[in-house]
Chain A
Amino acid sequence: MTVAEGGERIQMTKAQTDSVQKLTQWILIVLLAAYTFYNLGPIFWLIISSLKSRADLFSMPPVWFFEPDLSGYQQVFGVGAAAESASAYGVLDSLISSIVVSTVGTALAVILGTMGGYVCSRFNFTGKNDFLFFVLSTRMLPPVAVLVFYHLMFARLGLADTRTGLVLVAVFANVGLATWIMKGFFDGVPKEIEQIALVSGYTRLYAFFRLVLPMVKGGIAATAGFCFIFAWNEFAFASILTTTQAKTLPVKISAASGATGIEWTQICAAGVVLIIPVLVFFYLIRKHLLMGMTFGVLGRR
C-alpha cells in the first residue's frame, strides 16, 4: 500500500466521523429544544397570561397580540386603580408576609445550621450520631402528619396566624438540612486551618470567624439558597396556621376567588411575582455556588 492510499483511507474515515458527529449534534439540539420548551413553555404562558385582560385571557383561539393589562400586578402590589378592588384585598400583605417569613426564617436556619454543622464536624460528643440522625429526621417528617397538632399548639401559644409562628416553622423545617449541608462543607475544610491558628496563639472563635467561615461562604450561599426555596414555597403549614393576618403569597393565590369568580389575572401575576425572588436570589449567589472551596494549597489532595 502506498502512502497516498493510506492517507485517502484516513480522510474517508474522517469525513464519515464528521457526518456522524454532525447528526448526533443535531439530534441533541432538537432534544434540548424540546426539553427547553417543555420546561419554559408553561412559564412563558404564565407570563403572557398575567399581562392579559380577563377578556383576552378567555378568548378562543388564544390571542397572541393584545393590549397589556397590568391590573393583575396592580392588585398584587397594591397600586393603581385595581388596588382598590375587593379582590386585591390582602394580596400585598401576603407578599410581604412571604418575604418576611422566608428571609428571616432562612437567615435564622442558616445561622443555627452553620454553628451546628461546625460543632458536628469538629467536635466529638456523646450521642453525636444520634443527634445528627435526629436533626435530619425533622426533614423526613411529612407535614400533613403533624399539621393538626401544630395548629392546636400554635393556637394555645398565640402563634397562630402570626408571621413569628411561620418563621418558627421555617426555621424548624430548614435547620436540620442546613446543619447537614454545612457539616459537609466544614468537613471539606482541613482541620489544620484551625490548628495552625490555635498553636499560633489565636482563639478558636478567631479561627472560626476569620479563617474557616470565609472558606465556606460558597457553602453558606448554597445552604441559604436551599432553605430560601423551601421557605418561599412552603404551603402546607402556612395554609393551616394562618387565617387572615399572616397569609403567605402561595396560600393567598390558592384562595384567590373573589366576588367575580376566580381571579385568573391576579393569580398569574402573583405566580410571576413568586418566581422572581428565587431567580434574583440565585442570580446573586451564583458565583459562590460555583466557587471552589480551597485553592488546592490546603488539605491532603
Chain B
Amino acid sequence: MAKIELRDLSISFGAFTAVDKVNLTVNDGEFVVYLGPSGCGKTTTLRSIAGLVDATNGDILFDGERVNDLKPSERNIAMVFQFVSLYPHLKVRENIVFPLKARGIPSSEIKRKLDWVTEVFGLGDELKRYPAALPPGAKQKVSLARAVIRDPAVLLLDEPLSAIDEQFREEMRWELGHLQRELGVTTIYVTHDQREAMSLADRIVLMNNSKIVQVAEPDRIFHKPDNVFAGQFIGSPSMNLIDLVPAPGGLRLGDSAIVLPEAAIPADVASSRQKLRLGVRPRDIRLVNEEVADGFPVEVEDVYSVGRERYFLFRIGDNEYQGVDHRVEQGTGESRIAFEKGGLIFFNAETGERVSAVEKAA
C-alpha cells in the first residue's frame, strides 16, 4: 500500500510534451481514474509511475520517497495492459505465478497465493490451459490475477477492459471495483470511457492536452465541472453550450429573442460582469406545455427514441441543441421547452472557467 505524489511532473518526447507540469496526490488505498481523450497524456503518466517511461522533469514519490531513479522491478508495482498480454508459451498457472518466480518465493507460499487468486477470480478450470484457449474476458482476468498475486503497493491499469466485449465489460467492471475495495490497494486506472470512470473512481483525474483539467469525485465533476471541457467531456449526450448576451431583464440566448430572466440567474453570476456562456445538459431540458411559466418556444427539428428516452434536436436562433426527455410524446415542429432548475451551469465565455457554484436541485 502506498501514497503516490506527482510533483511538477513533465514528460517530453523530443519537441512533444506529453505530460505538462502535473501535480497530484493519490492517497493510500484510493482508486483514482485518469480520464481523457486519446493522446492527452494519461497513459504516459501511468507508464512513468510504473517506471517504463522516464520523467523529463519533476518528481514521483511513493510514500514520500522519490522513485524516479528506481527501475520498474524495484517499485513494487503491478500493471495490467490494454491489450491482453499473457505469455503464449506458458500455461495460465505459470503466467499467474510469473511475478512470484522473480522473487524466489518458496513454493508453499506460491501455492497458497495461487489458491487465493484462483478463488478470487474463479479461474480453477483454466489453470492448466494455455492462454490461446481462453476467451478475451478470461485472459484479462488472468492478467489481473497475475497483477495482484504479489500484493503490489500500487496497481496500475491501462484501459484493462477495452479489449473485452461490451457484454462482459460491464460484469468485469463490477468485479474490478469489488476486488479493489477488498484488497485496498492504491489503484490508478486509465480510460477514455467516462462510464468506467464514473462507476469505479473514488476520484477522477480529467486530463486534456497534457494537463490536468480537474480532479474531483465523480459526482462533483459531473455537477460542478470546473470548465467547459470538463462539462462537455463528461455526460452523454454532451452538454449544450449557449452564448449569453446581456439584455433588458436578463440574458438573451445567443442570437434568439429568448431572454433568460434575472430570477433564473444566480446572484454571483449576475454580478460577475463577464461574457457568459451557458451549459445545459440534455437531460436538464424538459418539453413543456403552454401552462409552464418559464417555458419558451423552440423549433424541434428531429426526434428519435432510445428505449424509454426520446432524444430531440431543437433550434434556438441559428444553432442546434439536443435534449432528452421521456415524459412527453413529441413530434417535430413548434414546441416549448424549459430548463431544469439547477441544471444551468455558467461559464466565462473567454476563459471557459465555471463562474459560480451551482447546486443541483434535489
Contact = CB atoms under 8 A, between A and B. Distances in A.
A199 B131 contact: no
A211 B87 contact: yes
Nearest to B73: A201
Contacts of B229: none
A198 interface: yes
B91 to A, nearest CB: 12
Contacts of B150: 201
B52 A199 contact: yes
Interface residues of A, number: 21
B88 interface: yes
Interface residues of B, number: 29
Interface in A199-225: 199-203, 211, 214
B89 A214 contact: yes
A16 B88 CA distance: 49
Contacts of B35: none
A294 B130 CA distance: 13
B73 A296 contact: no
**Which of A201, A294, A300 has its CB near the most chain B CB atoms (within 10 A)?**
A201
Given A199-B72, A199-B79, A190 B85 contact: yes
A193 B75 CA distance: 18
A67 interface: no
A127 to B, nearest CB: 13
Nearest to A214: B89
Interface stretch (B23-31, B97-105, B194-202, B282-290): B97-105
Given A202-B73, A203-B73, A195 B52 contact: yes
Interface in B65-120: 71-73, 75, 77-79, 81, 83-89, 98-99, 102-103
A50 B258 CA distance: 102
Given A196-B79, A196-B81, A201-B99, A297 B86 contact: yes
B50 interface: yes
Contacts of B89: 214
Given A198-B73, A200-B73, A202-B102, A192 B85 contact: yes
Nearest to B133: A297
B132 interface: yes
B88 A200 contact: no
Contacts of A192: 81, 83, 85
A189 B266 CA distance: 59
Nearest to A301: B83
A299 interface: yes
Nearest to A215: B89
A64 interface: no
Contacts of A199: 50-52, 72-73, 75, 77-79, 156
Interface in A235-262: none
Contacts of A197: 98, 102
A71 B148 CA distance: 72
Contact of A296 (B77, B85, B132, B156): B132
Contacts of B98: 196-197, 200
A193 B84 CA distance: 11
Nearest to A206: B102
Contact of B131 (A193, A201, A203, A297): A297
Interface string A125-141: 00000000000000000
A20 interface: no
Contacts of B73: 198-203
A41 B289 CA distance: 94
Contacts of B102: 197, 200-202
Contacts of A193: 85, 87
Given A196-B81, A200-B102, A203-B73, A298 B52 contact: no
Interface string B194-232: 000000000000000000000000000000000000000
A38 interface: no
A198 to B, nearest CB: 4
A200 B99 contact: yes
Contacts of A214: 89
B99 A298 contact: no
B81 to A, nearest CB: 5
A298 B88 CA distance: 7
Given A200-B99, A297-B88, 20 more contacts: A192-B83, A195-B50, A195-B85, A196-B98, A197-B98, A198-B51, A198-B52, A198-B71, A198-B72, A199-B50, A199-B52, A199-B72, A199-B156, A200-B102, A295-B88, A297-B84, A297-B86, A297-B132, A298-B84, A299-B83
20 contacts: A192-B81, A192-B83, A192-B85, A195-B52, A195-B85, A199-B51, A199-B78, A199-B79, A199-B156, A200-B73, A200-B99, A201-B102, A202-B102, A211-B87, A294-B88, A296-B88, A297-B139, A298-B86, A298-B87, A300-B83
Interface of A: 190, 192-193, 195-203, 211, 214, 294-300
